[in-house]
Amino acid sequence: MKRAFKYRFYPSESQEHQLLRTFGCVRLVYNKALEARTISWYEQHRRVNYGDTSAMLTAWKKTQDLAFLNDVSCVPLQQCLRHLQGAFTSFWKKQARYPKYKSRKRSRASAEYTRAAFRWRDGRLTLAKMAEPLDIRWSRPLPEGAEPSTVTVSCDRAGRWHVSILVETTIEHLPPTTAEVGVDAGLTALVTLSTGEKITNPCHGKRDHARLARAQRALSRKQNGSNNRVKARLRTARVHARIGDRRRDFLHKLSTRLVRENQTVVVEDLNVRGMMKNRSLARAIGDASWAQLRSMLEYKTRWYGRALVIVDRWYPSTKTCSRCGHLLDRIPMGVREWTCPGCDTTHDRDVNAATNILAAGRAAAACGVGVGPTRRQSARHLTQPSPRGWKKQELPGVSLAESRPVGRGGRQARSAEISPSMRPA
């Protein structure tokens, strides 16, 4: 598989000047190609593909106003046109929104070099139009015998330079294990495991909130276009970078631990975008970064031969008793413990939800059916035709029930309710 290794490097003055010019040319070509495709469609109802934009780039280089495009490597310019084509492909498949213009202030500055635009020799990387190799800090070695196929150079808002090296490598699967875990995401405890363990939320954004507020207040007082505003913006970006780096490091360690210790990891399909509309909890939800944790679990389980099971977001894991299956009408957010009226068992809210998530994941993996909510507390079993009419049929351990409409258009889905016999002890 292809895997990217990211390192920090420190360019010389001439290298920095050349890279900044390359970033500007890439942004200009991307925006001009996007404008040409948009105008062609809305005025002429004609689609422009990658080949057309590549011909436009050749014509732009021959004009007097855009002759400076010849001063940088042509490979990053061609690659940005390929990226634009990929953005339109995702838009046509309804997987993304319409492509936006790249902003000099808001967009991440980057340039991609293919194998023809850089030289890799004796562990030293030299880009096109440069005489000296990059001063890279090799924080970890590349796989033995790996040859880079693509190199991406970027500069973040905090002024840090990074190079991402894409190589072809193999990742050995971890030894199989019988351990399984259900994961319930939260705010006080970032995740609660079905084993009863709670991992406290570090709240990196909250810990540096005062420092970030001071930097943002100082930035707001600076005059637009002044050098002091540039310095203040850089200080604010460094605080944001510090928060993001610490959060990313913690999530990497947590996801790696979950994947290494368990053969199957079961999580909920949370609607994070919808939750962010809650003005009271939006900052805390964004600081928790549940979507980033799930993304890490997805690719790490593929790497190491593990299984990741996603439970439907409407499955009532919190309101269902993990011992007898009793379903409550509602549980307020402030209630952290509750007693089941059916079996008089006292549950911790998060541990009970993680236990139910694990049971639902086991049912989905064993029966191959989606796990979702039941319309009523007592499940209505799936009926099948018989000579005397409709007869109730039950699967061993799982009863199929019709759920409420989910998704667009009110589609009806079949969901599985976990019986007490399948719940972990």
Give DSSP secondary structure letters for 116-159: GGEEEETTEEEETT-SS---EE-SSPPPTT--EEEEEEEE-TTS
Which one from 112, 180, 268, 417 is the annotated catalytic residue? 268
Give DSSP secondary structure letters for 167-178: EE---PPPPP--
Q: Tell me how far CA of residue 323 lies from CA of 181, 265, 371, 416, 419, in angstroms.
A: 17, 21, 18, 17, 9
Question: Does the annotation count 337 as an active-site position?
Answer: no
Q: Are 315 and 334 in contact (CB under 8 A)?
A: no
Q: Quote the DSSP letter at residue 280.
A: T
Q: Quote the DSSP letter at residue 404.
A: P
Q: Are 36 and 67 in contact (CB under 8 A)?
A: no
Which one from 112, 287, 312, 350 is the annotated catalytic residue? 350
Question: Does the annotation count 350 as an active-site position?
Answer: yes
Please choose, from the candidates 3, 30, 25, 9, the residue with its C-alpha nearest in 3D space to the C-alpha of residue 129: 25
User: Which residue(s) pair with 126 in the sheet?
Assistant: 119
**Cα torsion for 293, 299, 304, 305, to the nearest 10°?**
110
Which one from 184, 287, 312, 402 is the annotated catalytic residue? 184
Active-site residues, by number, are 184, 268, 350
